[in-house]
Amino acid sequence: MTKEDGDDAAFNVFTRRDGTIRHFWSGEMGFETADPGQDPRGAPDLMPMWTILDSTPEGRGTDWYPKLEYTE
């Protein structure tokens, strides 16, 4: 969570060894590490749908976004 009580998506891995909890790894690829013209993204990507779309000639597309609901 951010200081302003907002929230950011994050993936964090922690370990517990001999009673001690430690941070192990988090994704760190954000705006500073993005390539020109790209939205921040990590690698390997956490979301399977990018792998699926990468196997198509059209690729990932640029003018769409997931929806919370889809009407049939």
Residues at the contact surface with other proteins, assessed by CB under 8 A: 1-3, 5-17, 20-25, 44, 46-49, 65-69
The residue among 48 and 61 lying less far from other proteins, judged by its C-beta, is 48
**Whole-number Cα distances in Å, 50 to 3, 25, 46, 59, 61:** 31, 22, 9, 8, 10
Say how many CA atoms lie within 13 Å of 41 toward its Cβ.
12
Q: Compute the least distance from the CB of residue 37 to other proteins, in Å.
A: 19
Q: Are 15 and 24 in contact (CB under 8 A)?
A: yes
The residue among 22 and 56 lying less far from other proteins, judged by its C-beta, is 22
Q: Compute the least distance from the CB of residue 11 to other proteins, in Å.
A: 5
